[in-house]
Structure 1
Amino acid sequence: MASSFLSVSLLFIGLHAADGFMHYVVSRCDFNSTDLKDIEFIRSYSYNKLEIIRFSSSVGKYVGYTELGVKNAENWNKDPSELAAMRAQKETVCQHNIKIWYDAALTKSAEPKVFLSSATPPGGKHSSMLVCSVFDFYPKNIKVSWIRDGQPETAGVTSTDELADGDWYYQTHSHLEYTPSRSGEKISCMVEHISLSKPLVTDWDPSMPEPERNKIAIGASGLILGLTLSLAGFIYYKRKARGRILVPSN
């Protein structure tokens, strides 16, 4: 079976605990496609975290790993109906459910979200660094590349591996270190993924550094808030002034 297989536990049965001892049985399907030849059904019996006996569809019978397991395996392997029932699990349980899993999840895809930002490179060797961050995509395989003035840019590019978020989604980040050679140049991050009908191209706007844009946004928000509070105070003052009664002095 290929090394990049998926393992899915189907059943957790026979769980018993008494005086600190535990016996449990786990059935699972290992597979890398929906073809029957690429599926293996395994039922494992363990006692206090030690596997004592196992049935594997690739072997076709029970195999014991301890003295007790060997004795049980010999007895169970003598029963043709028991072996026939276990061998049938590969098709009736595994293949049936694997087709459902493929249709429900493994054949689906999620479009990536792309964020382009600037950062200060370590060591000061380059005047600028762009970071293309790609989030929330599925499946894992993705291609992130850079384009500069319509031509592929490979110099000064470093990228991370696809990182699993733990919720079926992935993220990756690509860095471009460069020294702008002239004004008006166009730099873009291009993302290619199975969920996209065409490459997703995000252009970098070098008109203003990101920290400066953030400062302006914060300052504008503060100015609007200040004007709003001043207007509210002025309206309150005018209303109070109308309600006053002036008493002439002697």
Structure 2
Amino acid sequence: MALCWVYWMAGLSVIQTWATPAGGYQFQGIVDCEYDDTIDNMIYFVKNIFNQKLTTIYDSRVQKYVGFGEFGIRNADRYNSQAWKMAIRKAEVETICRYSARFFKLSTLERIVPPIVKVRLTKPSRYGELSMLECSVLGFYPQEVRVSWLRDGLETTTAVTSTDTLANGDWSYQLHSYLEFRPQRGESVSCTVEHPSLDEPLEVVWDTSGLDAKWFKMAIGVCSLFIGVAMAIGGGVYYWWKNR
């Protein structure tokens, strides 16, 4: 594994190039950090390139510059004689390489973000009607995830479909799973998600309050209808009895 930055004057930056108006010369400086998974065996290089030719390179394994060609050897000797420069290069193994490697591991390889799970009907429905539930699993990392549906505590795989795991572009993912069924009053339906960020599966129960409200309104309407009919019949019977 390796990280590579462009370097100039002991700092991180883009590649910086100097050239005469006619393009007579060009100078570049590059930092290169190489390490293994433990980031203990860190190797740090500082490369100076003149007109696309490597002139000097600092190697942290020998803690000095090595020159190439007459110009490079002369510069390497001058750099190695500068105690302040050599102290900076030695410190940069920790301040640039190892620090950035730790940040890279925490932000990518060891990054864990738990999912946000939402369960909803894809369109308004009623009890007994063919309906579809959507379980949205959002904003999780890493990519590995498992989604399942439970009906009254038992897993069901009938009429279940899912999207692929989709990248959000911000180091997170999302997935959507669908269950086609006919809701029954009193039945418990839930979406269960398993992810490395969770100590145990996350179960989100579908909230049926919307359907219950519709059912309650319908029940009130039916009761009101029967009461109205009963009152009309009772009124008719009373009127007939009074005028008999």
TM-score w.r.t. the length of structure 1 is 0.49
TM-score normalised by L of structure 2: 0.50
**Which structure has the bigger radius of gyration?**
2
